Structure 1
């Protein structure tokens, strides 16, 4: 079992929990929160009208972020080892990093989102992806050194 001293994976987990909480806030507090976080006027209006679409999309994001946080805690050795932890951490790192750099290609698909949203969310994704990536590297280095 990995040691529980991987600060990078712990930080990644905390970031994922915080992001999940912010998304949950959008569901609970509605349109003003969607606007504040730059999700676009259309999402904000749909939330204010009580339509299910913003809630479902945001709830899925919350669930994904929570699962990813659990995998970070698992990789750090803080909780029980989850299935396919190494593969999951590698994929999570890749998804965050890809999302962080691919925003220019994504922007035309979501014209309602503000430029501020894209820049801030992409920077956050790069940060979290880097935490996952460095945490994976550190964890695998520790395991490799123990097996050598």
Structure 2
């Protein structure tokens, strides 16, 4: 049993999101569109521009690092530097994404569709899991 099952779950969620982003690169333009990447990214993927893949690869890499930090906080891998601070920041980014995406879309006049609502709800779960795990770690 891990010292922090919440962060183990958070690491699994971040790792899954990282793998999903890699799958989007392989899946191509239709996958970018389905997963709500936006018309500009879809267009770049349709044109075969490496920019779409590089941006998506960058996101996947960040999510993989976040997974590593959560796994470290769960004592599944060795302790990483600035662990508590990093987990606090990761939790905050997930929370801001979850709560800020729809208002940002609305403020810019972009359509707020099903993807925005569903993805925000999913990321809110990610945020909650990371926050609970980080609070437990912080108390130790």
Q: Normalising by the residue count of structure 1, what TM-score does the alignment of the two structures yield?
A: 0.86
- The 10-residue stretch of structure 1 (6-15 or 101-110) with the greater mean CA deviation from structure 2: 101-110
- The residue correspondences of 1:1-148 to structure 2 (distance < 5 A) are 4-107=2-105, 108=107, 111=110, 115-141=113-139, 143=140
Aligned in 2, Cα 1:114/1:27: closer, same or farther, shift over 3 Å?
A: farther
Number of residue pairs aligned between Structure 1 and Structure 2: 139
Computing the radius of gyration from Cα coordinates, the structure with the larger value is 1
Runs of 4 or more, structure 1, over 3 Å off, are 108-111
Cα shift at 1:137:
1.3
CA RMSD of aligned residues (A): 1.8
| Contact residue 12 and residue 131 of structure 1 kept, 8 A | yes
Can you give the 5+ residue segments of structure 2 that lack an aligned partner in the other structure?
none
1:40 Cα shift?
2.4
Deviations 1:101-124 (A, max 9, x none): 01133215594x761221122112
Q: With structure 2 as the length reference, what TM-score do the two structures score?
A: 0.90
Structure 1: which 5+ residue stretches go unaligned? 144-148
Q: How many Å apart are 1:45 and its aligned residue?
A: 2.4
